[in-house]
Amino acid sequence: MMTSGEKALLFHLARDHFQGTGIIVDAGLFLGASTEAFCRGLKENGIKTKKIVHAYDIALWNSKGFDKYLQNPGVLDKIGPVDFKDGDNYQSLLEKLLEEHSDTIDFRIGDIVEQVRTNEDVEIAFYDLLKNYERDLACFNALGPHYVANRTIIVQQDYFFENAIDSKVRQEFLSPYFEFIGAIGSSGVFKCIRKIPTEFFEKDPIKKLTVDDKIKLLKQAAGRIPISKFQIYTSLAVVGLMIQSGRKEEGISELQEVEKAMKYAKLTPPRAAKIIEKLKDKLEGARLR
């Protein structure tokens, strides 16, 4: 879930960066926190163009993870008590929660792999669903050609995190075309500084990368921020990639390096400990404990 700092970033981008020459991509809105932040920013920006925010979500209810949010006073105030079962489509709830911004939002509900499209320039793109290669590639191929040099800002919410490995590899591979602006929470913020070559959209350049290339790029991602819990999570993505690629021995020594760094920095984030436990299980834990 997004932090208040991340929501403030989206608000400021919509208010101060958006010029009205293109659209805002809001990919992975869940219950609309990012959408609300963008729409509030746009209101203060004063640009009146309709349906600026292209809001993508599959919007399928997952009781275990989602039910608790229905008890949130803000949500209860707006919609009263509602009941969704696993797998129910909750588009109606999103429309209700974001009713006051209905002129601004173009809801694109469904699998983003099938839904993602635009003919317009992308001024801002917020991604909080690029958890697998298929989604990452679909968004890149559909939206990447519409990124504009010195204008488009990309916010990758899962950047300083242990998952979404493919999207981090792609973003780092694309470093010559982007400037890293900074991090907030687990989000990495990038500005497009050069048009991405069209051939990258014809044949995915990521496919050609070796495991060594990908490890190097992931380490580059982790190296973008100083040591912190988010830097640890990103370093654990490197271990995850090594495991995925069958490089257990390398995974073991990489994990030991991460644990050493944590000890040195006196960092003990409980969430990192849980991820480490899981990785150790995958790495045939007994040897490591």
Ligand X SMILES: C[S@@+](CC[C@H](N)C(=O)[O-])C[C@H]1O[C@@H](n2cnc3c(N)ncnc32)[C@H](O)[C@@H]1O
Binding site for ligand X (CB under 6 A): 1-2, 28-31, 33-34, 56-58, 111-113, 128-129, 135
Between 42 and 55, CB nearer to ligand X: 55
Closer residue to ligand X (CB): 82 or 193 = 82
When the beta carbons of 11 and 30 are compared against ligand X, the nearer one is: 30
| CB of 175 vs ligand X, minimal distance in Å | 25
Distance CA 24, CA 211 (A): 34
Instruction: Compare residues 34 and 231 and give the one whose CB is closer to ligand X.
Output: 34
- For residue 48, count CB atoms less than 10 angstroms from its CB and return exposed for 0-12, middle for 13-18, buried for 19 or more: exposed
Residue closer to ligand X by CB (options 82, 149) is: 82
Helix (H), strand (E) at residue 116: none
In angstroms, the CA 238 to CA 121 distance is 33
CB of 185 to ligand X, least distance (A): 10
Cα distance between residue 265 and residue 71, in whole Å: 38
- Closest contact distance (angstroms) between CB of 197 and ligand X is 27
Token output for 35: 């959408």
Q: 142 and 117 in contact (C-beta within 8 Å)?
A: yes
In contact, 14 and 35? CB cutoff 8 Å = no
Q: Is the distance from CB of 10 to CB of 41 less than 8 angstroms?
A: yes
Q: In the bound complex, what is the minimum distance in angstroms from residue 264's beta carbon to ligand X?
A: 31
Q: Are strands 53-57 and 178-184 parallel, antiparallel or unpaired?
A: unpaired
d(CA 152, CA 71): 37
Which CB, 135 or 146, lies closer to ligand X? Answer: 135
Query: Looking at the DSSP assignment, which residues form a beta bridge with residue 58?
Result: none
